[in-house]
């Protein structure tokens, strides 16, 4: 019966697609394993715009780690279906447990499973089974770090920080603060970064000419020169500070400065900067100006990692490892491992027992195999003596491990690593090409395994690099990304997505964005990335609290022009009102935190029909004013009815005020009793009466 239903469904879908020329098609979704799972996962969906263009939007969830799920599936079956009673019982139990009380939390797999666990149950086959022990969720504490945006010269510029500075955060982002590196803060100011690093068990020290002049300048693995050279008015002294900091760095120097923006010109000109109202000096840099300043005075290549932050490596092996790792799609690799199911061992029982006995050792090799997309080399295995003792030879160990795993996973890992290398080589063409013999040995092995030789890898990467100048290829890649739930696609114009999703894009789009990052730095310091399909531009946007607010406000926007090799920085603040980002869920992915809640908020906001949300939407003051008039307010990530008492002369609908509708009865006119409602809900009811029934 199930097979026949599936064949019928497939036939109907095929016929529907063949007849897409009809004027009024209907939206639908395809659910796989409908009968096999209690709450089936959505595999793919198509949405047709019934009015206007009739455009079709398709979205695939085949590789999603948090796909949408279906509830109450008995409603889709005929009343005499043999399994309908089982599904009805499942829904009834879910209702009893209160799982459907908050509809914003049930639409996606992760939120649904978390909700079930919160209720003290787990789902096994088609039954809710109570957990044997108390279940309490451990809240993860995440510190809110703040980046420096307005330091002022010399000791007066030393801010009191309540989080790590931007350059320290970038070191953490790229894994340099794992405890294996010592850090020296050259110009440490009040020492807030130092205290934070030391509290986290990192060997950190610092020196400052005003706050810590007695401290010794120490050789360290990493030296941070954060927001120092931009406050020194003497150019020679500025150079001395740069060279002095670099002389202390054994592996890496981090340089951070203030960038030119629309506020940078405010102040009295002094030398090559400005004199502020506090009588202090500030030099604002452009990225290219800072890069030239560093490289002319250190005779070393500098690497932009974020706006106004450059890395200068003294250890060239460390530099190469950094550049290779920076091009790696770690989440894609994890996805490849998680989204495939290992094949059941087909060996005899003793081989299965052998695998179980040495699983920890074998799994460490397996993870390295997946990460490199190729067989590990002996030199890359930490516990090689133990492997040889157990299996006799490394080749036999690999053969045994492969027999226990799925070749599909290996092929997926191989393709991911190959794409990562192509992105790395393509972006590396902007710099001087390193001879093969100077490459890291692990990278040499990667090239041999994935491309046969260095020349072939460079040629393939060059072809990809040239493709970013072809709008039709960029458009096709953007369309494909949107179909996989990676961003909001506007036909022939742009793709906008959260920066955390960039590493899941195809190589051509990662290279396109990487060209912009060559000027801007690490794009994950921004929240949204906008790919302009036909104009050769990239826009990066940062918001005040993208993850926490349903309507985050833009505070920073950068437009990068490839053909001019420049970017324009725009800051929002008192002079330029930060705009809201409406319909935020369009730029997110179902696997991101609070996605389900954001979708519910956006749907609720659109359903109000109070605003035109096309384009950039209304300005913040207009939005809040109209929302208040309609008796709504934002509470967390949801809209609720207003809890305030309005002024009686506030408009209530199109033609009345609240006073008109309250002070209108004969009894009130005769007695003079005000008879004012005391509850906010009463005013909401009056508003509903005036707007819906007038």
Please name the residue that has the structure tokens 């209690």: 38
In this prediction, residue 151 has a pLDDT band, given cuts at 50, 70 and 90, of very low
CB-side neighbour CA atoms (13 Å) of 154: 12
- Whether 160 shows a pLDDT value over 50: the answer reads no
Statement to judge: residues 301 and 160 lie in one domain: yes
Report pLDDT for 539. Answer: 95
In a domain, 509, yes or no: yes
Residue ending a domain, among 587, 615, 632, is 587
Look up residue 551 and give its two tokens. Answer: 């309507």
Token readout for 553 is 């406000």
Say yes or no to pLDDT of 211 above 70.
yes
Distance from C-alpha of 276 to C-alpha of 293, rounded to nearest angstrom: 23
Taking CA atoms, 610 is separated from 452, 550, 578, 606, 631, in Å, by 60, 17, 21, 8, 11
Cα separation, 85 vs 373, whole angstroms: 48
Alpha helices per DSSP H over 521-567:
none
Q: Tell whether 498 and 578 lie within a shared domain.
A: yes
Consecutive H or E run containing 608: helix 595-608
pLDDT of residue 332: 55
Does 583 lie in the same domain as 600? no
Label residue 694 exposed, middle or buried (CB < 10 Å: 0-12, 13-18, 19+).
exposed
CA within 13 Å, CB half, 146: 11
Among the residue ranges 244-253, 567-576, 667-676, the one predicted with the least confidence is: 667-676
**How far is the C-alpha of 171 from the C-alpha of 305, rounded, in Å?**
10
- CA torsion sign, 538 to 544 to 549 to 554? negative
Burial group, residue 83, by CB count within 10 angstroms (0-12, 13-18, 19+): middle
pLDDT range class, residue 266, cuts 50, 70, 90: low
- Sign of the dihedral through C-alpha 189, 191, 196, 197: positive
Banded model confidence at residue 538, pLDDT cuts 50, 70, 90: very high
Cα–Cα distance for residue pair 587/157, rounded to 1 Å: 37
Residue bearing tokens 């979205």: 59
- Give the pLDDT mean for 9-32: 45
What stretches of 625-690 adopt beta strand conformation (E)?
632-634, 639-641, 651-652, 656-657
Residue 418 included in any domain: no
Quickly count helices (H) and strands (E) in the chain: 23, 24
CA atoms within 13 A on the CB side of 208: 21
Q: What is the sign of the dihedral through the CA atoms of 190, 191, 192 and 193?
A: positive
* One domain for residues 280 and 377: no
CB-CB neighbours of 571 under 10 Å: 19
Q: CA torsion, points 145, 149, 154, 155, in degrees to nearest 10?
A: -40
In a domain, 63, yes or no: yes
In this structure, is residue 175 part of a structural domain?
A: yes
Pairing of strands 220-226, 183-186: parallel
The yes-or-no verdict on residue 314 having pLDDT over 90 is yes
Overall number of domains in the chain: 5
* Count of residues in the chain: 694
Q: 27: which DSSP letter?
A: -
* SS3 at position 82: coil
* Other beta carbons less than 10 A from residue 294's beta carbon: 23
Query: SS3 sequence, 373-425?
Result: CCCCCHHHCCCHHHHHHHHCCHHHHHHHHHHCCCHHHHHHHHHHHHHHHHHHH
What local confidence, expressed as pLDDT, does residue 420 receive? 93
Share above pLDDT 70 across residues of the chain, in percent, rounded to a whole number: 84
* pLDDT of 620 above 60: yes
User: Of residues 269 and 496, which shows the higher confidence score?
Assistant: 496
Q: 13 or 402: which carries more pLDDT confidence? A: 402
Lowest-confidence region among 148-152, 230-234, 349-353, 685-689: 148-152
Listed residue (302, 194, 190, 288) closest to 242, CA to CA? 302
pLDDT at 170: 80
Helix (H, G, I), strand (E, B) or coil at 537: strand
Band the pLDDT of 8: cuts 50, 70, 90. Answer: low
Q: What are the residues facing 301 on neighbouring strands?
A: none
| Residue range 178-200: mean pLDDT, rounded | 91
Task: Among 119, 141, 163, identify where a domain stops.
Answer: 141
Instruction: Write the Ramachandran bin of 152: left for phi over 0, alpha for psi from -120 to 50, otherwise beta.
Output: beta
Are 160 and 82 members of one domain? Answer: no
- The Cα–Cα gap between 366 and 361 comes to 9
Residues 57 and 176 reside in one and the same domain: no
Contact 246, 298 (CB under 8 A): yes
More confident of the two residues 432 and 204: 204
Neighbours of 17 (CB within 10 A): 11
Regarding whether 545 and 687 lie in a shared domain, the answer is no
pLDDT for 158 equals 41
Query: Would you state the pLDDT for residue 440?
Result: 87
Please report the pLDDT score of residue 673 as a whole number: 72
Residue 186 Cα distances to 171, 245, 253, angstroms? 15, 6, 10
pLDDT at 50: 64
Q: Is residue 507 part of a domain?
A: yes
Which of 86-95, 262-271, 554-563 bottoms out in mean pLDDT, i.e. has the lowest? 262-271
Rounded CA separation 248/225 (Å): 11
Contacts of 572 by beta carbon, 8 Å cutoff, 6+ apart: 553, 554, 555, 556, 557, 578, 579
Other CB atoms within 10 A of residue 587 CB: 24
Assess whether 109 and 160 both reside in one domain. Answer: no
pLDDT score of 348 more than 80: no
The answer on pLDDT for 112 being more than 90 is: no
Q: Is the pLDDT of residue 41 over 90?
A: no
pLDDT at 619 over 60: yes
Joined tokens for residue 463: 């072809």
Calculate the alpha carbon distances from 150 to 147, 167, 228, 230, 258 in Å: 9, 14, 13, 11, 8
Q: Are residues 50 and 134 in the same domain?
A: yes
460 to each of 90, 320, 371, 451, how far by Cα in Å? 54, 20, 21, 9
Mean pLDDT of all residues belonging to the chain? 82
pLDDT at 329: 67
Distance CA 396, CA 399 (A): 5
384 within some domain: yes
Cβ(404)–Cβ(345) under 8 Å?
Answer: yes
Question: Residue 460 falls within a domain, yes or no?
Answer: no
Average pLDDT score over residue span 266-276? 83
CATH number at residue 166: 3.40.50.150
Q: Could you tell me the two tokens for 193?
A: 């970064």
Q: 569 - beta bridge partners?
A: 558
* pLDDT value at residue 131: 54
**Containing domain of residue 634, as a range?**
595-692
Q: Which residues of 21-43 are buried (b: 16+ CB within 10 A; e: fewer)?
A: eeeebeeeeebeebbebbbbbbb
Q: Looking at the DSSP assignment, which residues form a beta bridge with residue 269?
A: 274
**Do 99 and 190 share a domain, yes or no?**
no
Largest CA distance in the chain: 104
Are residues 476 and 601 both part of a single domain?
no
* 248: Cβ contacts below 8 Å, ≥ 6 apart: 184, 186, 217, 218, 219, 220, 223
Q: What are the start-end ranges of the H helices in 129-278?
A: 166-173, 192-199, 235-248
> Is 462 inside a domain boundary?
no
pLDDT of residue 220: 96
Residue 346: pLDDT above 60? no
Quick check: 140 pLDDT over 50? no
* CB-CB contact of 487 with 481 (8 Å): yes
3-state secondary structure of 199: helix
The residue among 137 and 490 whose pLDDT is bigger is: 490
Kindly report whether the global pTM for this prediction surpasses the value 0.85: no
Q: Which tokens in the block code for residue 245?
A: 């900091």
CB 388 within 8 A of CB 398: no
Q: Are residues 171 and 295 in the same domain?
A: yes
Nearest to 513 by CA among 423, 418, 417: 423
- Residue 446 burial (CB < 10 Å; 0-12/13-18/19+)? buried
φ, ψ (nearest 5 deg) of residue 204: -135, 140
- Average pLDDT of the segment spanning 607-636: 93
Last residue of a domain, one of 587, 612, 634: 587
């Amino acid at each position: 019966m199930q097979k026949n239903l599936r064949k019928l469904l497939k036939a109907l879908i095929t016929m529907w697609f063949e007849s897409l020329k009809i004027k009024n098609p209907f939206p639908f979704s395809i659910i796989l394993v409908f009968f096999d799972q209690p709450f089936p996962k959505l595999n793919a969906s198509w949405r047709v715009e019934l009015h206007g263009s009739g455009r079709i939007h398709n979205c695939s969830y085949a590789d999603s780690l948090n796909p949408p799920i279906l509830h109450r599936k008995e409603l889709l079956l005929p009343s005499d279906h043999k399994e309908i009673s089982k599904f009805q019982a499942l829904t009834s139990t879910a209702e009893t447990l209160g799982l459907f009380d908050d509809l914003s939390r049930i639409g996606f797999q992760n939120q649904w499973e978390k909700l079930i666990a919160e209720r003290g149950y787990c789902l096994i086959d088609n039954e809710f089974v109570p957990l044997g022990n108390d279940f309490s969720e451990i809240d993860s504490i995440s510190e809110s770090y703040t980046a420096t945006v307005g330091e002022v010269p010399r000791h007066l510029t030393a801010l009191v920080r309540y989080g790590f500075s931007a350059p320290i955060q970038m070191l953490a982002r790229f894994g340099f603060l794992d405890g294996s590196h010592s850090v020296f803060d050259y110009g440490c100011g009040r020492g807030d970064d130092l205290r934070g690093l030391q509290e986290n068990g990192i060997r950190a020290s610092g020196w400052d000419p005003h706050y810590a002049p007695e401290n010794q300048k120490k050789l360290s693995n990493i030296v941070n020169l954060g927001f120092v050279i931009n406050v020194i008015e003497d150019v020679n002294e500025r150079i001395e500070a740069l060279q002095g900091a670099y002389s202390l760095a054994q592996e890496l120097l981090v340089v951070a400065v203030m960038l030119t923006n629309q506020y940078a010109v405010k102040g009295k000109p002094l030398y090559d900067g400005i004199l502020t109202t506090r009588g202090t000096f500030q030099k604002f840099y452009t990225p290219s100006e800072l890069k030239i300043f560093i490289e002319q005075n250190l005779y070393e290549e500098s690497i932009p990692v974020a706006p106004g932050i450059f890395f200068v490596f003294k250890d060239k092996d460390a530099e190469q490892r950094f550049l290779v790792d920076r091009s790696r799609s770690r989440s894609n690799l994890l996805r490849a491992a998680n989204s495939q199911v290992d094949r059941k061992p087909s060996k005899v029982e003793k081989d299965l027992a052998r695998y179980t006995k040495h699983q920890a050792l074998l799994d460490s090799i397996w993870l390295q195999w997946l990460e490199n997309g190729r067989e590990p080399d002996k030199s890359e295995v930490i516990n090689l003596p133990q492997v040889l003792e157990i299996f006799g030879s490394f080749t036999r160990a690999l053969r045994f491990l492969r027999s226990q795993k799925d070749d599909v996973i290996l092929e997926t890992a191989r393709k991911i690593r190959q794409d990562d290398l192509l992105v790395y080589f393509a972006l590396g063409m902007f710099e001087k090409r390193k001879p093969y013999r100077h490459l890291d040995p692990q990278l040499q092995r990667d090239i041999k395994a994935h491309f046969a030789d260095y020349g072939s890898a460079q040629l393939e990467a060059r072809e990809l690099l040239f493709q970013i100048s072809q709008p039709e290829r960029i458009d096709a890649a953007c369309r494909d990304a949107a179909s996989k739930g990676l961003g909001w696609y506007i036909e022939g114009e742009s793709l906008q997505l959260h920066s955390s999703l960039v590493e899941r894009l195809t190589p051509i789009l990662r290279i396109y964005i990487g060209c912009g990052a060559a000027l801007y730095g690490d794009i994950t310091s921004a929240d949204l990335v906008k790919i302009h399909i036909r104009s050769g531009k990239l826009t990066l946007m940062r918001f005040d609290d993208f993850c926490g607010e349903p309507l985050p406000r833009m505070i920073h926007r950068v437009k990068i022009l490839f053909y001019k090799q420049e970017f324009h920085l725009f800051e929002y603040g008192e002079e330029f009102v930060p705009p809201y980002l409406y319909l935020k869920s369009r730029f997110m992915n179902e696997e991101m935190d609070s996605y389900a809640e954001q979708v519910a908020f956006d749907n609720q906001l659109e359903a109000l029909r109070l605003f035109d949300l096309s384009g950039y939407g209304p300005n913040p003051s207009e939005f809040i004013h109209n929302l208040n008039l309609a008796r709504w307010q934002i509470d967390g990530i949801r809209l609720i009815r207003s809890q305030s008492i309005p002024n009686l002369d506030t408009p209530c609908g199109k033609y009345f005020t609240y006073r008109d509708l309250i002070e209108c009865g004969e009894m009130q006119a005769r007695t003079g009793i005000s008879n004012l409602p005391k509850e906010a809900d009463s005013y909401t009811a009056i508003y509903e009466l005036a707007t819906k029934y007038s």
